[in-house]
A and B are shown apart, each in its own frame.
Chain A
Amino acid sequence: MGRYIFRRSLLGVATLLLVMFVLHLLTTFAIQLNGNPALAFFGERVPTAAQLAAVETRFGLDDPCYDQTGNPCLGPFAERLGAYAQGDFGTNLRGREVTDIVATAAPNTLKLFLVVTIVWFLLGMGLGTVAARWRGRSADHGIRLTSVLIDAFPIFVLLLVYRYVFAVPLNQWATETFGAESLPALWFRPSFDDDHPWATLLVPGILLGLAGSAAFIRLVRASQLESYTGDHVRTARSRGLTERHVVVHHVVRNSAVPVVTAVGLTFTEALAGAVITEGMMNIYGMGGVLWEAVRGTDVALVLGVVTILAAVTVAVMLVVDIAYAALDPRIRYA
């Protein structure tokens, strides 16, 4: 077990380094091909060579390799790794600490993800179970049709319609009925409010969760249908257990395992959805920060944020792997 953890940790670090290097190359080439972000600092004006050089130094882009297309800029990369090793994640182009940005943005994204995950779970397990239990009946057809409908509405359509059609009248109504600082009024605020993060994240989280729930509904349904015909269910029934007991303990619980795995896998996809949700609902989160950083070719910020994200992902994967072994006696690592 100890050797396994050591090997996995080593693999994790190697993965991390690879991710960082690929990103470093991409952002470096972006600068070399698209032009130096330092120039954008001057807008319509033509800077003198000295002014440009000063801003390049300030932005940490003064290494001549950034002007040589194709140069992988290994020097700055090594410097950055050294700084990271000492816990210094650097600053964005205008001098704000990357760790400070992440510390402000990450909690909002995590809160959003929590709401999304709960919605996935509730909708997926709830509707999927009903559809499987009454397979081929009208409930099943209705749920399957619903899941197709959900797929047909991308998240930005849901949010656009919500913000511009529903949010304002609902907010007005709630404000008049319950008062401006009441929970219902906050739920329907058209944008995120940092003073009331949970209340204002609820509806966007539910919508983002709804938009991604179709796959879960189908996954749970398929997995439970398999269970219904499984040997262990037949055995349970033959022992004379009530149908209710069989469904709850042997079908629904078993089907939760693939769903948990899928939640993990879909997490990265959810980040993509979070970029849109965060952008439209004005949530200061990781997706939005990353989006703006890429747009502004802010190398230090892109690398810093992704490295922190990748490090967390690698660590979580490691914990999950180890937890599997601890939970399931059939899994042994050697």
Chain B
Amino acid sequence: MGRRAALAAAATAVTLVLASCSGGGGNDDGGDSTEGGGGSDPDATLRLALAQDVETLLPMDSNVNDNISVLDVVYDGLVRYDPETTEPYNYVAESVESDDNTVWTIKIKPDLTFQNGEPVDAEAFARAWNYAAYGPNAMANNYFFERIAGYEEMQGETDDEGNVTVEPAAEELSGLEVVDPQTLEVTLTGPFAGFGTMLGYTGFYPIAQECLDDIEACAVKPIGNGPFQVDEWDQGVSLTASRWDDYTLDESPAYGAIEWTEYAGTENWPDFQAGNLDFAVPPPAEMVAAQNDPDLQERFVEGPGAALTYLAFPLYKDGPWTDVEFRKAISLAIDRQGIIDALLPGERVPADSWVVPDGVPGGEAGTCQWCEFDPDAAKAALEKAGGWPEGETLTIHLGQDETEQALFKAIGDSIQENLGIPYELDPTPDYFDRRGARDFSGPFRANWFPDYPLNENYLAPVYASGDVKNGNVNFGYYSEDFEAAIKAGDESATLEEAVTHYQEAEAVLAEDFPTVPVVFSVNSYYYSENVSNVVLDPFSGEPKLRLLEVSNAM
């Protein structure tokens, strides 16, 4: 306790020093960066932290927050997302249109080039997508192309042991057709209204022929078409990018360079305090000190996160959980807010829906009517379900992660206290293996981070399977109404209409209650006095690098 108090005091003292020194600096050049308008210095350098386990900058292979946020300034996608609503708008694309949601015509703006001078045309997209979709390339974003016709033929076949028995029959997606240099026609395996929304994702960026010719070189030194180009990547240490002067589109950052320092862990708070980083999140021990610092609070930004943590049930196995009343009882017995306040204040918010509210189109709060904490209603529901079998212990399965174990211990305690059900946690290193093999004998933790900003992505990939008999692999859930609502959404004429149908699918979940939403993540950052106009992307949770204004006042 004493040490923590001392640390807090020291941290406060430090930030006071910081405040006084940079306050003086601000006066010298009349720098009004905090007021926004035109505060950016075209030569300024933005200094960010990057996780050390980033291994590639190949768009087709980048699927973690860190390389996605680097590539967001190095590449331009067909569409980009509105920072407030996350709705897509055309960027490299002139238009994205479809009459039947199955055949999509993408017109590409003329005269765009890669940083090596090659044209950004329909062929540039087709070659990237074909490479990603070809199974043996084992790209992280391979599965995004499942919806495009011809995907199946590009995957090998395997026997039960997982050995490849049949090599893929095709090397290109039959559903991709380069009509002319500026027109790409995409045929899907079935109608999907959200296809246009997917196109802004990293996995759909174009690549240059030079990149395809030497994929390994391109993975560490990308040839982008965005406003910044990678100067040097000293893997494991640092990554620098600077403005590409020949960039022709509008959304270019108003500063000169970005310098990412790689960190093995998340221990970069002291570097932020020392003025070496422009964005940071304090470690739990420093959280309170930061929250109590009025100066730091002025440079704090917070937004909803898109990741949902929920409790799922092995509906494929007999047990009390096959009764919806039992699942309700569990949900009503969890004191979400109390647990967050005690364990992770400010880092999670209680979830009362299956789709993040406001984070993606169609997300709405309060769709889960049984996500409130109500011990009496929980007891009543348990009674209705026939109670918990005497002498049995409820096993909650989860992966091995300290924070999550603490969270689920608190959830277990909540259940035990309010329903009298004894429980045990089973943190397993084989979590994914066992989940896939349906090897769980009790409820289990699950987590979902959406791939593209659309409510459909929280629903169909997680709950739909089309398998009436067995249900989906992970939970054994199947609902005809749910699948019908998803299908109606996929076939809708407009995105708005589709979103409404997907909301109906969520309503089916609210009735069937196959899973219990627990918490949503929260994104927050402290930022230095060098930066202003800080907007967090509601979807990725990262600062919008193209909107930032940076001045090297300090």
Contacts and interface: CB of A to CB of B under 8 A. Distances in A.
Interface of A: 34-36, 39-58, 62, 64, 67, 92-96, 100-101, 104-105, 163-165, 167-169, 171-172, 175-176, 189-191, 194, 278-280, 282, 284, 288-289, 292, 296
Given A53-B158, A169-B10, 13 more contacts: A34-B430, A35-B433, A45-B461, A46-B436, A51-B135, A51-B155, A64-B162, A101-B236, A165-B10, A167-B274, A169-B17, A172-B21, A172-B275
Contacts of B287: none
B184 interface: no
Interface string B431-457: 011011000000000111100000000
Contacts of A62: 163-164
A284 B156 contact: no
A282 B156 contact: no
A53 B163 contact: yes
A19 B429 CA distance: 26
A64 B143 contact: no
Contacts of A56: 162
Nearest to A66: B162
Nearest to B61: A94
B53 interface: yes
B270 interface: yes
11 contacts: A42-B432, A51-B138, A53-B156, A54-B155, A92-B55, A95-B56, A167-B270, A168-B273, A189-B276, A194-B238, A292-B52
Contacts of B156: 50, 53-54
A41 B11 CA distance: 38
B56 A94 contact: yes
B528 interface: no
Contacts of B21: 172, 176
B237 interface: yes
B274 A189 contact: yes
Interface residues of B, number: 63
Given A51-B143, A67-B162, A284-B236, A292 B155 contact: no
A282 B267 CA distance: 8
Interface in B44-69: 52-53, 55-56, 63
A44 B447 contact: yes
A282 B256 CA distance: 26
Contacts of B268: 191, 282
Contacts of B18: 172
A43 B21 CA distance: 45
Interface of B: 6-7, 10-11, 13-14, 17-18, 21, 52-53, 55-56, 63, 135-138, 140, 142-143, 155-158, 161-164, 216, 219, 234-238, 261-265, 267-268, 270-271, 273-276, 286, 429-430, 432-433, 435-436, 446-449, 461, 473-474
Contact of A49 (B138, B162, B236, B447): B162
A48 B52 CA distance: 28
Contacts of A296: 53
Contacts of B271: 189-191
Contacts of A163: 267, 270
Contact of B135 (A50, A167, A171, A279): A50
Given A44-B449, A172-B21, A57 B436 contact: no
Contacts of B274: 167-168, 171-172, 189-190
A48 to B, nearest CB: 7
Contacts of B140: 41
Contacts of B429: 34-35
B436 A54 contact: no
Given A169-B13, A191-B276, A282-B268, A48 B237 contact: no
Given A51-B143, A67-B161, A104-B237, A175 B433 contact: no
A173 to B, nearest CB: 8
A221 B6 CA distance: 37
A52 B138 CA distance: 8
A51 B155 CA distance: 8
A50 B155 contact: yes
Given A39-B432, A39-B433, A190-B273, A164 B262 contact: no
A224 to B, nearest CB: 38
A34 B63 CA distance: 23
A171 B554 CA distance: 14
Contacts of A48: 155
Contact of B275 (A39, A105, A175): A175
Most buried by B among A41, A53, A55, A288: A53
A34 B56 CA distance: 25
A284 B262 contact: yes
Nearest to B474: A46
B17 A57 contact: no
A104 B17 contact: no
A53 B162 contact: yes
Nearest to A296: B53
Most buried by B among A46, A47, A289, A296: A46
B237 A50 contact: no
Nearest to A172: B17
Contacts of B448: 44
B162 A164 contact: no
Contacts of B161: 64, 67
Contacts of B143: 45, 47, 51
B444 to A, nearest CB: 12
Nearest to B432: A39
B235 A96 contact: yes
Most buried by A among B14, B164, B264: B264
A282 B138 CA distance: 31
B273 A95 contact: no
A282 B51 CA distance: 11
A191 B270 contact: yes
A47 B433 CA distance: 11
Nearest to A45: B143
A163 to B, nearest CB: 5
Contact of A164 (B7, B435, B447): B7
A194 B235 CA distance: 12
A171 B142 CA distance: 47
A101 B52 CA distance: 12
A104 B235 contact: yes
Nearest to A169: B14
Contacts of A52: 158, 162
Contacts of B234: 104, 194
A246 B235 CA distance: 54
A165 to B, nearest CB: 5
Nearest to A280: B267
A64 B164 CA distance: 11
A29 B121 CA distance: 49
Given A46-B473, A57-B136, A40 B236 contact: no
A42 B142 CA distance: 10
A35 B446 contact: no
